[in-house]
Structure 1
Amino acid sequence: MTAPRISTVMWPIKPWPEAGEEWRRAEELGFHTAWVYDHIAWKGTTPWYDAYTTLAAAAAVTSRIRVGTLVTSANFRHPVPTAHAIKTIDLISQGRVTIAIGSGGTHRNSDAGILGGDDWSSRERAERFAEWVDLLDKLLRGPEVTFEGTYYTAREVVTEPGCVQRPRVPFGIAANGPRGMRLAARQGDTWVTTGRSKTGDGPYDAVRAQLETLHEACAAEGRDSSTVRRLFLAGFTGEPWMESIEAFRDLAGRYAELGITDIAVHWPRPGGDWAADPKVVEAIAAEDPQTS
């Protein structure tokens, strides 16, 4: 069993340059990746700054830590300008960006319907997600893309000089259902889960079942499932990830035994569910294999 890589999720709620100091601190502590959520606003939190602009700034003030979205939202972004921004951040970071992508939250406070129009059914949301990711993949590989889809269109988009990372920046795909898992198997360098389940299973059992589905999806796509990294985004299941370093080690070890290769914890945010002792955060960062 290989020890999981440890990352952190940053909060885009502080003004620059104060926020930049936190990103530099995350790098100093030794986290593998610093992620940021992609929303216009999240659960009523304001201010909530733009993810992609934040990534560009963070990439400019760091030199080693990887940066990325966890996850880019298909609720309000079109693949064409998104690809253009990703290539620019990849250049600024000199190849340190990863883009995790999700179908978008279904509630208004997570940006659903923010651009107007009819609400998306579950089927339409899944179809849009797959088409969105496939078009983004084409746009980042280049050199020129014309695409006529059901939901998205691109016409004679020149994509050169392309990404620093070849053939494109890595994708993480957040998915739980069979269709999303097939997308992860086809396009994902990493699969992302929060461990939540609609069936009432506890997070451990939910992740175990999800990993079985991922394995089946990879087999259907003719891909070795061991080539897909598996990231657990901690903090949404009531487990005491940030209570102590001992609690973290216990949980990380259990999920690593299931096959989780990466764990992301939240940067401490005083007050509420995301509060944590900074000393515990430092100890967790030191658990990353590249730091140890």
Structure 2
Amino acid sequence: MLRGRRTLERMSLRLSTVILPVRPWHAGGRDQWVRAERLGFHTAYTYDHLSWRTFRDGPWFGAVPTLTAAAAVTDRLRLGTLVTSPNFRHPVTLAKDLMSLDDISGGRITLGIGAGGNGFDATALGQEPWTPRERADRLAEFVPLLDRLLTEGAVTHHGTFYSAEEARNIPGCVQGPRLPFAVAATGPRGMKLAARHGQAWVTTGDPKLKEDGTPEQSREALRGQLEKLDKVFADIGRDPASMDKILLTGFTPEGGAVLDSVDAFVDFAGRHQELGFTELVIHAPIPDSDFAADETVFERIATEALTQLDD
């Protein structure tokens, strides 16, 4: 495990995982987070949804209590959401949860945040689903307000979508000046938010290419996204190298095949490292689902793949 962690740091390419909250804590859920630390992953994320796609009619647990429990059974592993959205969150209450999580974990929390989609979360509170523009409008107000809530002692804000009246988050985050934001965005407005407020940028690739595109087309699309991000950084005078670039795998044309073998993952990782990604995130296997994979291969990828890439 230690050898793998040293390799990740030396290469500036990190390997992280996503643990979907589908297992009861005392029936396999706890073990997954403990294993993620043992395997040397940089971060273990979870999805922040009320339910999600094909898992809608099965077990699905809340992100904040899951991460709280994970923080209590791990010591070094970073923890986070990938991603939280305004679909059912409010900046004031989320800030309080995040500050508490950062305290409980000893400063190991990363907030992945994005505009959200039009899935089950979009209507679970009884509202009509927002259009892409409406989601972008809300995120544009949500992120700066959340930034203030996590860095200022008292915040008052009366906006178009969100309000705060002398909201207090004392003593603030363990990580200073606040816990890091990983902003998921592919459009210009979202990329500007990432550049101004984020410590990392997240993408899943071009969704139009997942079913009918080729790996080469996908890499070209990702290269285009990274070039757009660089331009946004140049426009505001920030060094693009100051931001991590995270690829959540499983949604490019390769799909779950990147976990078929260590060699397949090494090839995939090398090609995307060349594009400029600094962190790759793979899903922990879930049997009989879109994320089914061989557990032994998954563990070998965690402990061996980036060492082979370095060779």
Smaller-chain TM-score range?
over 0.9
Selected match of 1:255 from 272, 287, 291:
272
1:272 is displaced (CA, Å) by 2.9
**TM-score with structure 2 length normalisation?**
0.89
Asked if 2 retains the 8 angstrom alpha-carbon contact of 1:197 and 1:203, the reply is no
Q: Which of residues 248, 261, 267 is equivalent to 1:244? A: 261
Partner of 1:150: 160
Residue identity opposite 1:79 in structure 2: P
Of the structure 1 ranges 272-281 and 208-217, higher mean CA displacement relative to structure 2 is found in 272-281
Distance 1:288 1:51, change over 3 A: farther
The answer on whether the counterparts of 1:3 and 1:256 sit within 8 Å (CA) in structure 2 is no
Distance 2:223 2:159 in 1: 34
RMSD (CA atoms) = 1.7
Report deviation, 1:3: 4.8
Counting matched residue pairs gives: 288
Higher helix share: 2
Q: Say if 2:218 and 2:253, in contact at 8 Å, map to a contact too.
A: no
Aligned equivalent of 1:6, options 15, 29, 41: 15
Q: Which moved more, 1:94-103 or 1:264-273?
A: 264-273
Q: What corresponds to 1:53 in structure 2? A: 65
Gaps of 5+ in 2: 1-9
Q: Corresponding residue for 2:248? A: 233
Q: CA deviation at 1:118?
A: 3.8
Using the TM superposition, name which of 98-107 and 29-38 deviates more. 98-107
2:295 and 2:33 mapped to 1: Cα distance? 14
Residue 172 of structure 1 aligns to a residue in which SS?
Answer: strand
Q: Quote the residue 1:274 is aligned against.
A: 291
Aligned mate of 1:106, from 110, 113, 118: 118
Q: Whose RCO is larger (CA < 8 A, sep 6+)?
A: 1
Give the C-alpha shift of residue 223 in structure 1. Answer: 0.7
Please say if 1:194 is aligned against 2:204: yes
In 1, Cα distance between the equivalents of 2:208 and 2:199?
Answer: 25
Partners of 2:143 and 2:153 lie apart in 1 by: 17
CA shift at 1:115, angstroms? 1.9
Matches within 5 A, 1:56-67: 56-67=68-79
1:3/1:246 CA distance change after superposition, 3 Å: farther
How much identity, in percent, do the aligned residues show? 51
State the partner residue of 2:7.
none
Contiguous gaps of at least 5 residues in structure 1: none
SS of the residue aligned with 1:67? strand
Matched position secondary structure for 2:241: helix
- Find the partner of 1:93 among 105, 110, 116: 105
The Cα offsets for residues 161-202 of structure 1, whole Å up to 9 and x where unpaired, read as 000000000000000011111111111101000012448863
Q: If the length of structure 1 is used for normalisation, what is the TM-score?
A: 0.94
> Which piece of structure 1 moves more, 76-85 or 15-24?
15-24
